Chains A and B, each alone.
Chain A
């Protein structure tokens, strides 16, 4: 069993006990524990079930590479799934539960999959669920969705705080092990601005657990000294619990700081995302130990040799009483020695190398440990816990020579440099034959804005495995990075380090090398996604030869750990199956983040009301206070309607607003409409190019409705243009189009017609605009001014400057409702005052502010199109019967050439008509009009669709507009529109102008 030892535990403070629960069981750990070490101290080896076969799984590693120990943390609003126990620091009151099992961790019915494993090989899903086709949607997919995935998505809103921080540094060093510390010190001494980050809570990294000295000092003392030197350097910033998450273009770097995961508090953000620009990045990210592939290597109790050593040295936790070490290198001998020194039993070291190890092997032997060279593990015995191992010859096929009882297997298949951050932005790798590892190719670094390499590597991340090499590599990397950014590095000698001389490792990709299929089917590569040696071999046999294909076919490396333990072993097996060298197989792509980061950290402060800034019209507060039922329109919020009482239903409110506007007086806050001033001697010529109709002939004082298309010919915006004077036009755009049309104009002016004398200014927010609408509109306004507002003074489609008391206004006689209407622009600062005056003056007429829905219904009653309803980016003005607004005289306008392309001028295009339901009901929006027959996919043919549909209070019936094939030629024809419930609505093709088709009401 695993337990806490009486002595040892460099990182834990045994004076401070902490209570936590796992699956409801109350357990005790110490300050400084990780959840993993605390669980192990309580003999909780079993922590989860695997993804596919639901096999019992225990903790394998001691750091970020852990594939198995994923737990649910917290509950309700602090609930978070898939947290790695090995990187979760213990705190008082921590609650964790295991995941991916039913009904319990100890007894899981899904484990039946393990018995069926023979029938569930790689690609099983693809082969099994393809036939019969219809079963996929209704049977297979729901079942797979239910059984797939690790953990459950949280249900409650996250209550914690998160933030972003922007930072700029000359040199950023990622990794606070001995290499990172020395690189940061070397850069700091050169006088440049340095950031040093370490993902764990401690400086020093692995060197503290390993054997060695620096400057004749024990490593821990040297680390302490270096940390305090760095802390005293004003140009160096140091951060623990901060991971380098990703390296991006031009030195952009994301740092993920877990500010208060280890001591939850309402006063601090939980995570902080650092958005860093670094001139140079040094990745001192260390290396990760590789597992060995032998049968039963996933049984709880089989762990990485370095992790077994970490738990003893750092946390004073022994994984078990009898540890068998299995290795292909000398490093793992340190684990055997550490166990022995802790008073634990090491019955055997299995060294797969025929010639065995070097100095450390001798030391182990001298301590009385039995070492067997050229041997391997044939099979691990045990179910939920290791009980022993069968030993065989590595060169053979797995015939057991003897069985050794043990409760821990400490394995080491060599080390893989953590090259993720180097690779994120394009750094290339080379295969180091001697150490059987991919390491960064210094000739092919990621390049920055000037074409310079901006990432370098230090220490074991660079493939340096010997302490002395690590130290000198780190110092020179730090100096080089500083020099690159203008620093003056010291030239003093680097510290001198010494550590036991290691004998060469020997790549062992399968144990034993001739393992039969039975053994290979139990030799795990990817623990989290349940991928075995036999699966990768099957993929190769079935033709998935590219490493990227094999990855997707088997799911190797696709789990949340992204194959930190499995990738190299997997591609070695693939290379062997394809009979090609490993570098020819290559690696899959490394993508950020290095380990998963919280979604909330990515969002930062941008949530709730500040997710997107809200644009407010000058009348916004009045709307808010008067029952506005809001609708988002672009970044604005516009009232959809106003509720008289909080209980009034929406339909009633809309109906009331329309009826009152049509019969007496309505007010619309139209401030959100885009207002662009186009000015200059060439303004008319420019607008002739932008609008489909002729604008240069417009007289000052008059208004004209215009359409804008893009170069593809599609209608993109519409609005009324007013000519202010000879050189000046004011162009109204849709609410959503204000910024994009402004940009569109600037684009053409700056990039195509840059010699034309025109300026454009977006004055949308400079003016508040109110539409005063209805038969009593003139009477109301006349109460507020002495100026002449008669039809003779300001006829329909004219504008004039009018003084309303002390408010200078510009009054446009334009109408989007079909009623007598004045759209009045006043300076934004006077918008609210003007609105209040209108309410007062209109009181005697029962003035009725109305919202966007009433606006929509009234324009539909008049057959006016709406950008975004009648248009969807594939509609040209000709489709909408707007030929009258397309100039035939102009040689050119944007979209003109495109509108002559064969498909655009095809007489079979769907065209705009009105639709009147036979029974008076309302057509569903977007409903298709069916035609006879079916298409090649067996779907019903269609001949049109509904673009706008409303209940019209004015006509007391459903009205709609739609695009119908040959529509205008089919007046009176009754068409069928199926609804989603299977019933069909019949509608007659009519003129789209349902109300006042002569325009008598607006032109008075």
Chain B
């Protein structure tokens, strides 16, 4: 029962108010992509023990999607941020670096 803050409406709510949506920062592959690219896009998801970036929707609230940076081991939430972005904001990356030096996740570190 995590507690998350919705960056769109500012409400801090508990997990039952939100719906998880899997990995964040996915790059979509459509027609014209190779079998490998498409397979990776659809099925090869990160499942780390530690720093992770996820999609969440404030389903029983404002309805907006947002992204969350959190730690799957310590349950610490480093921050939530807009879904309309291609990479985690610098201040959240800095916060993670302070807690987990040398972290990396896909192309981010």
Contacts and interface: CB of A to CB of B under 8 A. Distances in A.
Contacts of A897: 29-33, 38
B77 interface: yes
A87 to B, nearest CB: 27
A900 B30 CA distance: 11
A646 B33 CA distance: 61
B35 interface: yes
A712 B43 CA distance: 10
A226 interface: no
Interface residues of A, number: 29
A840 interface: no
Contacts of A901: 35, 38
Interface string A746-774: 11001110100000000000000000000
Given A250-B75, A447-B74, A751 B14 contact: no
A896 B1 contact: no
Contacts of A252: 1, 14
Given A447-B74, A897-B30, A750 B1 contact: no
Contact of B63 (A250, A448, A746, A900): A746
A896 B38 contact: no
A448 to B, nearest CB: 7
B2 A250 contact: yes
A898 B38 contact: yes
Contacts of A449: 2-3, 75-77
A453 to B, nearest CB: 10
Contacts of B84: 750-751, 754
B76 A743 contact: no
B21 A448 contact: no
A891 interface: yes
B65 A249 contact: no
B52 interface: no
Interface residues of B, number: 29
B20 to A, nearest CB: 12
A277 B16 CA distance: 13
Contacts of A277: 3, 14
B83 A754 contact: yes
Contacts of B28: 752
B57 interface: yes
Interface in B44-74: 55, 57, 59, 63-65, 71, 74
Interface string B3-21: 1000000000011000001
Contacts of A743: 57, 59
B83 A750 contact: yes
Interface in B68-109: 71, 74-77, 83-84, 99
A425 B75 CA distance: 10
Nearest to B83: A751
A809 B42 CA distance: 43
B57 A892 contact: no
A746 B2 contact: no
Contacts of A898: 38, 42
A711 interface: yes
A765 to B, nearest CB: 15
A747 B76 CA distance: 25
A892 B3 contact: no
Contacts of A892: 30-31
A647 interface: no
B65 A751 contact: yes
A751 B75 contact: no
Interface in A890-910: 891-892, 896-898, 900-901
Contacts of B3: 250-251, 277, 449
Contacts of B38: 897-898, 901
A450 interface: yes
B77 to A, nearest CB: 5
Contacts of B15: 249
Contacts of A447: 74-76
B29 to A, nearest CB: 7
B12 to A, nearest CB: 9
Contacts of A900: 31
B40 to A, nearest CB: 13
A451 interface: yes
A746 B31 contact: no
A280 to B, nearest CB: 14
B30 A896 contact: yes
Contact of B76 (A451, A712, A746, A896): A451
A98 to B, nearest CB: 39
A746 B42 contact: no
Interface string A236-266: 0000000000001111100000000000000
Contact of A249 (B1, B29, B35, B64): B1
B91 to A, nearest CB: 15
A764 to B, nearest CB: 14
Contact of B99 (A425, A451, A711, A746): A451
A248 to B, nearest CB: 5
A752 B41 CA distance: 14
A610 to B, nearest CB: 17
Nearest to A448: B75
B2 to A, nearest CB: 5
B96 to A, nearest CB: 11
Contacts of A754: 83-84
A711 B42 contact: yes
B65 A746 contact: yes
Contacts of B64: 746, 750
Nearest to B76: A451
B76 A249 contact: no
Interface string A117-155: 000000000000000000000000000000000000000
Nearest to A760: B63
A711 B22 CA distance: 14
Interface in A836-856: none
A900 B32 CA distance: 10
A750 B42 contact: no
A249 B21 contact: no
A737 to B, nearest CB: 16
Given A747-B21, A750-B65, A751-B65, A896 B31 contact: yes
A450 B95 CA distance: 11
A712 B38 CA distance: 10
Nearest to B63: A746
A42 to B, nearest CB: 45
Nearest to A899: B31
Contacts of A450: 76-77
Contacts of B35: 901
A743 B30 CA distance: 21
Contacts of B32: 897
Contacts of B1: 248-250, 252
Contacts of B29: 897
Contacts of A251: 3
A425 B1 CA distance: 11
A450 B35 CA distance: 41
B74 to A, nearest CB: 4
A898 B42 CA distance: 9
B57 to A, nearest CB: 7
A900 to B, nearest CB: 7
B74 A451 contact: yes
Interface in A421-443: 425-426
* Pairs of residues from A and B, 6 with the lowest C-beta to C-beta distance, nearest first: A451-B76, A252-B1, A754-B84, A750-B65, A447-B74, A250-B3
Given A451-B71, A746-B65, A747-B21, 13 more contacts: A249-B1, A249-B2, A249-B15, A252-B14, A425-B75, A426-B75, A447-B74, A447-B75, A448-B75, A449-B76, A747-B57, A897-B30, A901-B38
21 contacts: A248-B1, A250-B3, A250-B75, A252-B14, A447-B74, A448-B75, A449-B77, A450-B77, A451-B76, A712-B42, A743-B59, A746-B57, A746-B63, A746-B65, A750-B64, A750-B83, A751-B83, A751-B84, A754-B84, A896-B30, A897-B30
Interface of B: 1-3, 14-15, 21, 28-33, 35, 38, 42, 55, 57, 59, 63-65, 71, 74-77, 83-84, 99
